[in-house]
């Protein structure tokens, strides 16, 4: 054992002398390694967020985004009438929810503030498995045209605007000159399925009767999401949705029907979209750079 360590020490001394004998080569080699390792680390930190991170939803591998795409709208959507039929139930899908986008709104009280407001179906948060920091989820009666005005606020808004006051539940906040009751504070890791930022989440206030009348406008299109039943897959869900999709095409002008497509994909695929292939290529490229270095 003593001989072994003596040989190791001798090798290290020879290696050190060689490096000192050729300082230019040594500096170039060290710089190449630093650049290679640094570039790989930086790129992997970005790619990791896109390809390998866990979504902040329970059983996120069973969540899918579904709808139709058209030349004027490349992100899948559904009109209310189709979505209302969809909610009647499919064997492969156990739960559905929707939201209708994010827009600017204003807290119109002392120290006015421009924020981003998302409008969601009442079961949006629990269906996706999002936890709350404080408070409760929306109720069925609050998601109607004449329902009470209630909101959930983001963790950041709660901290910065309300000083993380645990008694904020039940208080009112003026948004666009309308008084809204705060019923929940979202978890710190809350994120919308399309990664958009939302400071305030409020019910869509669309009852079933109103949805069933919408084949196009004046309501905004819905972004629909579903949870697969255990053991079910996306191909099965797509097959079940085809008849409903074909029926919905009757509301599309004939000249555009061939350009409307049904899309069913995992929620993670919807988030990274075209970045998936680019991320793998980029990761492979920096890996090659590291090997060369």
In a domain, 269, yes or no: no
Residue 18: the pLDDT is: 67
Provide the residue range defining the domain that includes 15: 2-53+274-292
Pairing label, strands 150-153, 178-186: parallel
In a domain, 118, yes or no: yes
Based on the fold, state whether residues 238 and 169 are members of the same structural domain. yes
Based on the fold, state whether residues 75 and 120 are members of the same structural domain. yes
Q: Does the pLDDT value for residue 286 go beyond 90?
A: no
In a domain, 264, yes or no: no
In a domain, 43, yes or no: yes
* Bigger pLDDT: 248 vs 144: 144
Write the CA distances from 26 to 104, 151, 245, integer angstroms.
56, 62, 65
Average pLDDT over the chain, rounded to an integer: 81
Residue 248: the pLDDT is: 77
Residue 189: the pLDDT is: 87
**High-pLDDT (> 70) share of the chain, %:** 76
* Cα dihedral 225, 228, 232, 234 in deg (nearest 10): 20
Mean local confidence (pLDDT), 163-186? 94
Mean local confidence (pLDDT), 162-171? 93
* Bigger pLDDT: 199 vs 250: 199
Based on the fold, state whether residues 212 and 238 are members of the same structural domain. yes
Based on the fold, state whether residues 102 and 207 are members of the same structural domain. yes
Based on the fold, state whether residues 135 and 35 are members of the same structural domain. no
Based on the fold, state whether residues 198 and 236 are members of the same structural domain. yes
Q: Does the pLDDT value for residue 274 go beyond 80?
A: no
Mean local confidence (pLDDT), 144-172? 93
| Confidence class for position 2, pLDDT limits 50, 70, 90 | low
Q: Does the pLDDT value for residue 154 go beyond 70?
A: yes
Q: pLDDT tens digits, residue range 177-220?
A: 999 999 999 999 898 888 788 999 999 988 777 777 765 555 67
Pairing label, strands 261-266, 63-70: antiparallel
Residue 6: the pLDDT is: 73
Q: Does the pLDDT value for residue 39 go beyond 80?
A: no
| Confidence class for position 281, pLDDT limits 50, 70, 90 | low
Q: Does the pLDDT value for residue 168 go beyond 70?
A: yes
Counted domains in the chain:
2
Based on the fold, state whether residues 127 and 77 are members of the same structural domain. yes
Based on the fold, state whether residues 161 and 195 are members of the same structural domain. yes
Q: pLDDT tens digits, residue range 40-69?
A: 666 555 555 555 566 778 888 899 999 888
Q: pLDDT tens digits, residue range 111-151?
A: 899 999 999 999 999 999 888 999 999 999 999 888 999 99
pTM, two decimal places: 0.74
Residue 45: the pLDDT is: 58
Residue 159: the pLDDT is: 95
């Amino acid at each position: 054992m003593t001989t072994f360590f003596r040989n190791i020490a001798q090798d290290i001394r020879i290696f050190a002398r060689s490096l000192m004998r050729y300082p230019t080569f040594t500096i170039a080699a060290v710089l190449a390694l630093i650049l290679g390792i640094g570039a790989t680390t930086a790129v992997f930190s970005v790619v990791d967020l896109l390809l390998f991170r866990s979504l902040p939803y329970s059983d996120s591998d069973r969540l899918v985004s579904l709808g139709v795409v058209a030349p004027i709208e490349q992100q899948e959507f559904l009109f209310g009438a189709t979505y209302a039929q969809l909610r009647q139930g499919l064997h492969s899908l156990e739960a559905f929810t929707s939201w209708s986008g994010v827009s600017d709104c204003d807290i119109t009280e002392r120290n006015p503030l421009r924020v981003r407001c998302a409008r969601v179906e009442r079961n949006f948060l629990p269906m996706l498995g999002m936890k709350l920091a404080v408070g409760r989820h929306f109720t069925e009666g609050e998601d109607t045209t004449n329902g009470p005005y209630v909101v959930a606020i983001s963790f950041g808004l709660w901290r910065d605007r309300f000083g993380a006051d645990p008694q904020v539940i039940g208080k009112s906040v003026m948004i666009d000159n309308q008084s809204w009751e705060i019923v929940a504070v979202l978890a710190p890791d809350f994120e919308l399925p399309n990664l958009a930022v939302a400071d305030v989440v409020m019910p869509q206030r669309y009852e079933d009767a109103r949805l069933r009348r919408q084949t196009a406008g004046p309501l905004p299109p819905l972004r629909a999401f579903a949870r697969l039943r255990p053991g079910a897959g996306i191909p099965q869900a797509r097959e079940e949705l085809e008849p409903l999709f074909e029926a919905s095409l009757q509301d599309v002008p004939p000249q555009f029907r061939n350009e409307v497509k049904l899309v069913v994909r995992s929620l993670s695929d919807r988030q990274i979209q075209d970045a998936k292939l680019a991320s793998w290529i980029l990761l492979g490229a920096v890996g090659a750079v590291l090997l060369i270095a």
